[in-house]
Copies of this chain bind each other. A is one copy, B any other.
Amino acid sequence: MLQKFQIALDPLYRLKNDFQSGLQQVDQLILENVSANEPLIKTIATTLISAGGKRLRPLLCLASSQLVGKVAQNSFYLAAAVELIHAATLLHDDVIDESYLRRGKQTANTCWGNKPSILVGDFLFARAFELMVKTGNIRFLDILASASAKISEGEVTQLRCIKSLALDIEEYLKIIEYKTATLFAAACQTGALSAGANEATAHQLYEFGKYFGLMYQILDDVLDYTDASRGKQVGDDFREGKVTFPILLAYQTDTDKAFWHQCFDGDNVNNIEFDDVLKRLHNVDAFKQSTVIATQYAQKAQESLQSFNSPVSEMMHLLVESFFEK
């Protein structure tokens, strides 16, 4: 009973509930658009899409539409396109990170191998653009093509900076802005434009999405070390040699820099006791510091909503806060 009550209070749950029929339409559009004649595509794509996921990007796209006007047919196309781009990047990321689990299930690369994962990712990406074409408005393609290029660019920079303790905060923030925040920003911006918002209003929602995405990725980087309940392996980032915010802050704060070099110089990362890493990260307050920075982006996201005043903006405001209550 208590759990039910808590769920009812959870802003993500409430927002998803408010947009339930819209999100169902989006899922329907996605499934229609991934059903190729080729059976292997159909199997991989529908398994990936049906495995769930929070649908945060389409949700924020539809919420942004509602916030400035009314969810239109184009809002659904865009919400579905954004989720397809996200799904394509997940398939490629899991190949690149050699990930075994996602959302508690075996990844596509684990089940079917890297090769189909690469190609089905390409397919979903192309289908996303086909969906955008259905809007008949080239501005949407402009925004989402540019966002897609940035996602890859962020991922390449992240790859180049693997195990690089020389990475500074500015570079890290650019990586996460490109690889994560840009798609949230584009989802909100195109959502607003599809409901008739002018460019200035849509830009406010772009800003909301960008700051939301930065907050989201920093918290995600913390959870990678601390949360065993996410359906991923704890410590994946560490073992992949990714210098994310907690590591970056720890390296800057820790007087014993040698420990971190021992972790990331050479091929030693799998020989390090992960509990030792966790202890050190806690000792230098790396998780707390990361969360403080995430809070600053959360506030900026909320400030971007200031000129709106409606039940939807209130829910988006609460949604931002809810990420700190877990």
Please give the residue numbers on chain A whose beta carbons come within 8 Å of chain B beta carbons, in ascending order: 36-41, 88-89, 92, 95-96, 114-116, 118-123, 125-127, 129-130, 132-133, 136-138, 141-142, 145-146, 148-149, 151-153, 155-157, 159-160
Contact = CB atoms under 8 A, between A and B. Distances in A.
A153 B118 contact: no
B118 A41 contact: no
A141 B133 CA distance: 7
**What is the count of identical protomers in the complex?**
2
Of A89, A132, A155, most B-chain CB atoms within 10 Å: A155
Contacts of A36: 149, 153, 156
Nearest to A145: B129
A129 B156 contact: no
4 smallest CB-CB distances across A and B, nearest first, come from A126-B148, A123-B152, A129-B145, A126-B149
Given A136-B138, A138-B138, A149-B127, A156 B119 contact: yes
A120 B156 contact: yes
Nearest to A144: B129
B41 A153 contact: yes
A68 to B, nearest CB: 23
A149 B130 contact: yes
B149 A138 contact: no
Contacts of A116: 156, 159-160
A125 B128 CA distance: 12
A122 B90 CA distance: 12
A89 B95 CA distance: 17
B92 A118 contact: yes
B96 A115 contact: yes
A153 B37 contact: yes
A148 B133 CA distance: 13
Contact of A157 (B38, B121, B142): B38
Given A126-B148, A133-B142, A149-B127, A156 B40 contact: yes
